[in-house]
Each structure stands twice: as C-alpha cells, then as structure tokens.
Structure 1
Amino acid sequence: MALGHRVRGHRARAVIGSIAALTALGGLLTGCATDSAESAESTAVEVRPELRALLPGELRAESARIAVGTESGYPPFEYTNEAGRIVGFEIDLFDAASKRLGLKYNFVDMPFKTLLGELYGSNVDALAAAMSDTAERQADYDFVDYYNDSDAIMVPAGNPEGIKALPDLCGRTVAVLTGSTQQEALAQLNTAQCQAKPVNVLQFETDADALAQVQAGKADAELTQWSTGAYNAKQVGSGDVFEVANTEIINPTPLGFVFQKGDVEMVRAYQAAVQSIIDDGTYAEILEKHDLSAGALDKATVNGQ
C-alpha cells in the first residue's frame, strides 16, 4: 500500500449524514461507495454502551456515519462477490467491531495505492484494506492490529523453476502490487542478495493483475500476502493453476485497521471493540468462516504494542 502523501491540512472528520453525500465523496475518490448493510455478512453483534462512549462525541449521534477506504480485489480479506457486494474476512471483522460500537459506516472502494493518501488527506476516516502495520507507516498513521500474516511467493502449479525462498527470485521477473510492502521487500532484496542479478519487478494496480502475469508466463512469480496467496492457490481454476512456493515464513507482519496519527479516541474505541469480539468468540467465528484461524491474535494491539 502506498505511503500517504504529505499535503494534509486542517483535520476535518468526514462524518457522512446521507447516502447522497457519500456518493459524492466516492465520485471524488474515483471509487464507489457501499453501504455497510450491503457489504458485511457477519453474525449479529450487540452494542456495548461503555465502548460506544469511547467514540468521539460527534460520532455518538444516531445519524453519524464514517467513510472507510478499502480496495475490493484482495481475497480473502475483501473482494466483490457475484451479487456485487464487497465481502471478506476484514469486511466482516470491521462490521462486527463497528456494530459493537453502534457506529454506521460506508466503504469507499478505491485503488489500492491511493488509500493511505486519502486517509492522510482526511477524505476517509479509516482504512480496512489488509494493511501491513510497519514502523514506516506508523510515522503517519495508527494501526489497530487484528491479524498476523506473512508473504507468499506465488508460482505456477508444479513450481517449474524450483523457487523456494526470496533469494531464488534473483535474476527473475516477479509481479507485485504497486505500493505494497511486498514491492518494498523486492526493492530491499535488490540492494542485498540480488545486487549481482536484480529482480525484474513488474508493478500492477491490483493483486489479480499481478498474479495473472504468472499464469500468462510473463512473470516467474508473484509476491503477495500469504493468506491471499493460499486463497488463490485453492480457488483459481480447480486449485491446479498456482501454488505457494515457500514453506518458510517470510516477513511476518501484523495487519490492522488504519487511522490518522493521533486520532486517539477512534483508535481506542476500535481497539476495545476488536478486543471485545475476541473475548466473546465472535472473532474466532469470523476467522473460521474464512479459514484464517492460523493468524489469530489473542490481543488487539495498537501499532504492534
């Protein structure tokens, strides 16, 4: 995900009072807005008044609604189903946490690389986009962590090139999502193990476009998040088109919902809400539904702490 631009002016929360207003915002961001009721498929979650009280005062009003940036091409975290609804693990999780707070929201679907910049510019209030919580990003944003993940090297089924680890990518062509931490990992690889034989990095606007280069024979591999890679290895075709090449863990990193740096009340409220659904078992149910229990957290942390 792109590291936000530095043009933020006066902090102005985007509390959306109507679908019409959010649609206008979606047009501004060249994305589309989706109402929370049309997206998530999570189980019923009751509001906890003591957690709702943690929200900023203006967000406790019955009409309050926040705009949440996402990119709907990254299964199993967020993707568009056959009915045109944005669904997925992170969608269900954000929905459950928001219901616990009694807070309405709308997703604004936009290009992956623009998300942090739109949050930095106060055009959305939060991000739910399988965002890796890194020290570099923490300089400008705060994370409420909800999952542990790592990286996957995606190759054609049968792994004809025998790729097993990151150094095996030296001298090869590798596709990657523009602005992602995986792109940064390849850049670091080229300054370290692959100086003599650099990786030829192909950047794409969506993870699906990057993976398609492997299927078309235009790239030897794709570097992506492990959960997304494992999902695609099982789901594309009959599960015989791609495979995850690495058996060792690469770049383990927490993922989190993202808020503007210093948005203390929102961060505290969502941390408490996520911890609440961890404690009551809702989190485990959502993980199991999406076959992601392996990356479960016991505690909802802020910036990995």
Structure 2
Amino acid sequence: MALEHRMRAVIGSVAAVTAIGALMAGCSLESPQAAEGNGQEVQVHEDLRALLPGELRAESTRITVGTESGYPPFEYTNEAGRIVGFEIDLFDAASDRLGLKYTFHDMPFESLLGELYASNVDAIAAAMSDTAERQIDYDFVDYYNDSDAIMVPAGNPGGIKTLKDLCGRPVAVLTGSTQAEALTALNTGDCKAKPVTVTQFDTDADALAQVQAGKADAELTQWSTGAYNAKQVGSGDVFEVANTEVINPTPLGFVFPKGDVELVRAYQASVQSIIDDGTYAEILKKHDLSAGALKTATVNNQAQQ
C-alpha cells in the first residue's frame, strides 16, 4: 500500500450513542485519538521493526487505525474520553515493539471494512471476527478466541437458552456483525417456519438498550462483551447471558488490507512475542479475559508458515 494511502485521514464524524450509560459512549472522528501508551518507557524490538515495510520505519510515520469504541471490554471510552480496553492495550503493546505510531479513528462498526478497503484506514482494531468470507478481501492477525452470547433481561423471563429459542421473537443485533449473519442463517434454517424478527443497530449499546426497554426479547452479541455488560451495567442485575452452550466459536483479529504481507507479518510476530514473554497473559488478566487466550498468534486462523 502506498504511503499516501496509509496516511489518509478518514472523512466524516460519528459518535457511538448509548442508551445505557457513559460507560459505552464513543468519541468523534473530528478528534482522532493518538496512541499514548501506558506511560512506561517503550522498548522497540529492532528485529520486529525490521519486518515493517520500509516506508513505515521512518520516525515521523503514523498509521491510522479504525475502531468502534462502544464494545467493552475490547474498546470503550473512559471518563477522560479516551478509548481504552483489552484490544487497545494489546494493539498498543504490539505497536510499541514495532516502534510504530498510530492514530485511532472511531466510526460505526459496519463502515470499518469499507474504510479499510478504500485505504482510508490502514488497519482495524475492533473485536472483528476472523471469518472465511472476510478473508477474501482482508487479512487477520488473530489474538483471541470468542463465541456468541444471547443477552436477556436479568432473570431470563422468556426462558431463552439456545439460538432455537429465538424463533418467532424480536431480537436486536449490531449492524454488520457476524451475529447479524448468524440470525439471518437461523431464519433460513431452524427458524424458517417461525422466523426471528431481527432489528439491527449502529452500536452494540443501542441493540442492548432494546432489551432493557422491552422492545426486544434478546440481543445476540459476542460472549466477552455480553458477560462484561451483564456484570457492569447497573449493579449487575439488569442483564444476563442466557446460553450456557458455546455458540459460533471464532477467533478475533486485527484486520489489514489483503496482501499487505509485510505489515501483517510484523504484527503477527509482535503479538507472538507478547504471548511468549507473558505480557499477553498480563493484559488478559487485567481485563478478566484469560479464558479466550491463544497460544499462537495466527494469520487468517492458520499458523504462520
């Protein structure tokens, strides 16, 4: 990818609107967030930095990274208005080792892949599921395993336990997500005779708010985000995860343009080094996400050759 494409700013602005509190609020593209790190001295790993494309080794170079900040614990805004979370910490650590500066751009989830395809951003860090369909146009550096959660009101008044239990019910979901695709597949399969009424929303927070308002019987989301919200929203007595069985397990990864081989290999090697020296385990523990840990940072769900 040409350097001028790497440095092109995303045009437009968006705020991640939330109906369930400032915890899930987003920030505007008009104030893109530059990485600040954790305040500790950063040690660049020269062997990893050497893997970067030549034009990205200049001290003044900064890439742009698309995200959607309403998706805790992966990305969310803190009280100071900065985007924080597990994936942010991990991307910080990987980028620090590469000696690569970057700026986050917050935008709707459904627009992320299109902005990457158009070279308006250079990478995505947004809890993106690594699927065979997405691999046609993009490359993934996988960093975590996750699955899906069926979010319901606390007490589960509808008695929902499985995806089949959603048949005939109103269900909210994030636009452009693999969970939205799963509901579409459900309506052509197990729920064909009694389809789910699917309503899609720009943010996960908006979808979840439909459950709280009684406008949807459930929301389908990623397990880690669902479990986080079940604990954090209100006093932990507003929502619960209904399913006990694992649904649609899949790796999550940082996303890059298809064929950007050097940048992909650099981030794969950097994430692997973080796994190997225990930094990854520390970041996972900080965010209570150890259950989904990977032993190998894979590319497109395949071990790096």
Q: Is 1:115 paired with 2:112?
A: yes
TM-score (norm 1): 0.91
Distance 1:44 1:234 in 2: 34
Q: 1:274 aligns with which of 261, 267, 271?
A: 271
Q: Is the 8 A contact 1:56 1:266 kept in 2?
A: yes
- Residues 168-187 of structure 1: pairs in structure 2 closer than 5 A: 168-187=165-184
Aligned length: 287
Distance 2:281 2:202 in 1: 32
> Equivalent residue for 2:5?
14
Distance 1:179 1:108 in 2: 18
Q: Is the 8 A contact 2:124 2:254 kept in 1?
A: yes
- Residues 143-154 of structure 1: pairs in structure 2 closer than 5 A: 143-154=140-151
Q: 2:217 aligns with which of 220, 226, 229?
A: 220
Secondary structure of the residue that 1:255 maps to in structure 2? Answer: strand
Q: Is the 8 A contact 1:43 1:96 kept in 2?
A: no
1:149-183: per-residue Cα shift (whole Å, max 9, x none)? 00000000000010000000000000000010000
Deviation at 1:28, TM superposition (A): 3.9
Distance 2:122 2:275 in 1: 23
Distance 1:304 1:269 in 2: 16
> Equivalent residue for 1:205?
202
> Equivalent residue for 1:35?
34
Q: Is 1:48 paired with 2:45?
A: yes
Q: Are residues 43 and 74 of structure 1, via their aligned partners in 2, closer, same or farther at CA, if it must alter by over 3 Å? A: farther
- Residues 36-115 of structure 1: pairs in structure 2 closer than 5 A: 36-37=35-36, 40-41=37-38, 45-115=42-112
1:205-227: per-residue Cα shift (whole Å, max 9, x none)? 00000000000000000000000
Q: Is the 8 A contact 2:146 2:252 kept in 1?
A: yes
Q: Are residues 249 and 124 of structure 1, via their aligned partners in 2, closer, same or farther at CA, if it must alter by over 3 Å? A: same
- Residues 249-264 of structure 1: pairs in structure 2 closer than 5 A: 249-264=246-261
**1:14 maps to amino acid:** H
Distance 2:40 2:161 in 1: 39
Distance 2:40 2:103 in 1: 18
Deviation at 1:140, TM superposition (A): 0.2
Q: Is 1:247 paired with 2:238?
A: no
Q: 1:235 aligns with which of 232, 235, 239?
A: 232
Distance 1:69 1:143 in 2: 14
Deviation at 1:43, TM superposition (A): 6.1
Q: Are residues 300 and 26 of structure 1, via their aligned partners in 2, closer, same or farther at CA, if it must alter by over 3 Å? A: same
> Equivalent residue for 2:294?
297
Q: Is the 8 A contact 2:172 2:207 kept in 1?
A: yes
Secondary structure of the residue that 1:114 maps to in structure 2? Answer: helix
1:223-264: per-residue Cα shift (whole Å, max 9, x none)? 000000000000000000000000000000000000000000
Deviation at 1:14, TM superposition (A): 3.5
The share of aligned pairs that are identical, in percent, is 79
Distance 1:45 1:104 in 2: 12
Distance 2:197 2:216 in 1: 9
Moved over 6 A (4+): none
**1:36 maps to amino acid:** A
Distance 1:283 1:185 in 2: 30
Distance 1:98 1:51 in 2: 10
Q: Is the 8 A contact 1:74 1:207 kept in 2?
A: yes
Q: CA RMSD in A?
A: 1.5
Distance 2:50 2:253 in 1: 22
TM-score (norm 2): 0.91
Secondary structure of the residue that 1:251 maps to in structure 2? Answer: coil
**1:297 maps to amino acid:** L
1:41-100: per-residue Cα shift (whole Å, max 9, x none)? 486552110110000000001111100000100000000111100000000000000001
Secondary structure of the residue that 2:5 maps to in structure 1? Answer: coil
**2:180 maps to amino acid:** Q
> Equivalent residue for 2:161?
164
Q: Is the 8 A contact 2:125 2:253 kept in 1?
A: yes
